[in-house]
Amino acid sequence: MNIWIEYWEKSKEPSKNTHAQLRENLKWEEPKEKQKRYFDKRKDAINFANSLGERGYYATIKQDNGGY
């Protein structure tokens, strides 16, 4: 089973929309540059993802099914 994190920097542009005035769902732009880092243990991946969040990044933990 492989575990990895995909992360990218949060946008520095302020949001111009308020949730109370939205008429349709926002369309999120795909990040220009995604980075990946692989881990052996899920616990290590969670700790790293939390530290990225504190530094201004979005992070998602992903894993494959391990052949099952």
Every domain of the chain and the residues it spans: 1-8+33-68
Distance, in Å, from the CA atom of 25 to the CA atom of 41, rounded to the nearest integer, reads 36
* Per-residue pLDDT reduced to its tens digit, 4-59: 999 999 877 766 656 666 666 666 677 889 999 999 999 999 999 999 999 999 99
What backbone torsions phi and psi does residue 48 show, to the nearest 5 degrees?
-65, -40
pTM beyond 0.85: no
